[in-house]
Each structure stands twice: as structure tokens, then as C-alpha cells.
Amino acid sequence: MSDTEPAIVISTDELARRLQGDRPPHVVFVGDADVYASGHIPTAGRVDFADLNHAEPPASGLLPPMAVLGEVLGNAGIRPDQTVIAYDDSGGGRASRLVWTLHALGHWRAGILDGGLAAWREDGHPLTSGEPAPGAETAPYPAELRSPEVVAGEEYIREHLDEPGVCILDARSPAEYRGEDLRAARGGHIPGAVNVDWGDNRDPRRSGRLRPLDELDALYRSRGLRRDQEIVAHCQTHHRSSLSYVVLRHLGFEHVRGYAGSWSEWGNRPDTPVITGPEPLPPENGRDSGGAR
């Protein structure tokens, strides 16, 4: 790993080392102002998670308009020439949403801090409190959708539902996937979607850090994901599935998209196909064991 092209997941010790280097990355906390003020990584900027999301009913979790997004990123001190390391205090989904957003803008030098704020604190690295001192007015980030290949919409999924080279990854809980936990007008899952709860990416033995790479690889292989496929990750609003997006990139999957509208769009539309029930059967036994609605 070079100092100019970091891995998409970085350890606390590696970040601490690089912050002392000649070209330190720009660190950004994604979360609430009161958490940031109570203790944050020195020099870190902040993005409110809500500012990375835009609602157009029935969908929420969409990318904001580019002009709005440019102001949000600029206010956090993010510039196109920087390496950005995002972190949060809520399991990695918020930080990963910023990484996915930057990737969509063609800003590929972006990653997350493994374990976030809790890991940084546990490993004894310094924190500073309070709000940042007022500085010079920041310029808006020149936001433009330069990498549309990491974004998927409802129409894209409809067009690729029956393609074996495209896998829909549902990062919600199994109860949401089966249709038992209803968070939209309809419950269930997209036909053929594979369910890997976003929480399964984290290692309960390591203070919320990600599982080791070999365990993550085995997890996704056990669900039938292949590196030659295009993976489309979603949850309810592409919050949880943003962590899945980062993990798949971490594992070396090169063709990964995020469905920003996610189930807030698919489950609230009356004309989208929906399946209820458990995980799909293996391909040799049938496409899906649930019932279409």
C-alpha cells in the first residue's frame, strides 16, 4: 500500500502513522456534531450523514443534487486531490456511504477506518474535543457523476434481473429479507437477491472491526458471489449496504454498484416484483424458494 493509494480499509495504527507523514490523508468523521465535539481524530473534518442522502418519494437515500453535494463535501474540507479516510461511531455504514459517494464522483482515493471511533479510542490514539476553529471559507467540491458504473437504479435492476452475471446483494436483516420485518409498503426481497446481513461483516471478537479477509471471503463465497459477476448492493436506503460495498471492494471485487434508492424505492413501488420467504435455493435446485407477489 502506498501513501497516495491507500487500501479501502485502513487500520488505526496505519492511519496514525500516515497522519505523521509528509502527505497525510484528510480524515472525515461522518456523524453527529455532538459526538464529533466530544472527541474526534485531530485535524478531522465532519459530514452530517443526512447531508449525503436525498429523498424523492418513494425513494430515500438517493445521491443529493451535485451542487448540494459539492457544498457538503467542500465544507468538510474535501478536495479532489486528497486521500480521504472516513470514520464513524455507528458500525461503518456512514463512513462507507461517504466512500461510495466519492467513488461515484470519480474520487477513488478514499477508504474507511477499520472499527471507526471505538477502535481508534481502544488502541490509544489521540482525540481532540470541541468544534474546529473558524478558518478560511472553503470552496465547493467540483461534484460530478464521473463513475456511474458504481451506481444502480430501479430501472437498471429490472433490466438485469435474470442475468447470471449480475448478483443482487441484500444487506438487510434476514427478517426484512423474508418480509417479516416490514419497512415499506411491501416486504420481501428482489427476485434472486442473496442475503448477507451487513452486520456479518464485522467481527464480534474485535470491537466492531471487520472480520479477517479469509473469513469475509468465505462468507461471500458461501452465498455464491463470484468475482466475475457484477454485484449490486442494497439495503433500505444504501446505508448498511454501503459497508457491504466497501467490503466487496476490500475483497477485490471490481464490479460493484450501490442501489441508492434500495428497498425504500423498490418496496414502496406497486409495480416492482417482490419475493417473500427465505434465501434462494442453490442454482441447481431452482431460482428462488419464496413466493412471488
pLDDT tens digit string along 160-205? 998 999 999 999 999 999 999 999 999 999 999 999 999 999 998 8
Q: What is the pTM of this model?
A: 0.93
E strands of the chain, at which residues?
9-10, 26-30, 45-47, 54-56, 59-62, 84-87, 110-113, 151-152, 166-170, 194-195, 230-234, 256-259, 275-276, 291-292
- Report strand pairing: 275-276 vs 291-292: antiparallel
| 176-180, 207-211, 245-249: least confidently modelled range | 207-211
Task: Average the pLDDT over 251-264 and give the result.
Answer: 97
Question: Confidence band (pLDDT; 50, 70, 90) for 7?
Answer: confident
| Share above pLDDT 90 across residues of the chain, in percent, rounded to a whole number | 86
Looking at the predicted structure, is the pLDDT value of residue 19 above 70?
Answer: yes
* pLDDT at residue 130, rounded to an integer: 87
Which amino acids are annotated catalytic?
235
Q: Which CATH number fits domain 9-122: 2.30.29.30, 3.40.250.10, 3.40.630.10, 3.50.50.60?
A: 3.40.250.10
Domain boundaries along the sequence of the chain: 9-122, 148-292
| 148-292: CATH class | alpha beta
In sequence order, the 6+-apart residues with CB closer than 8 A to the CB of 146 are 104, 105, 106
Looking at the predicted structure, is the pLDDT value of residue 133 above 70?
Answer: no
Contact predicate 237/53, CB 8 Å: yes
Q: Which of 174, 185, 173, 189 is nearest to 259 (CA)?
A: 189
Q: How far is CA 75 from CA 28, 109, 217, in A?
A: 11, 19, 37
Write phi, then psi, for 181 (nearest 5 degrees). Answer: -100, 105
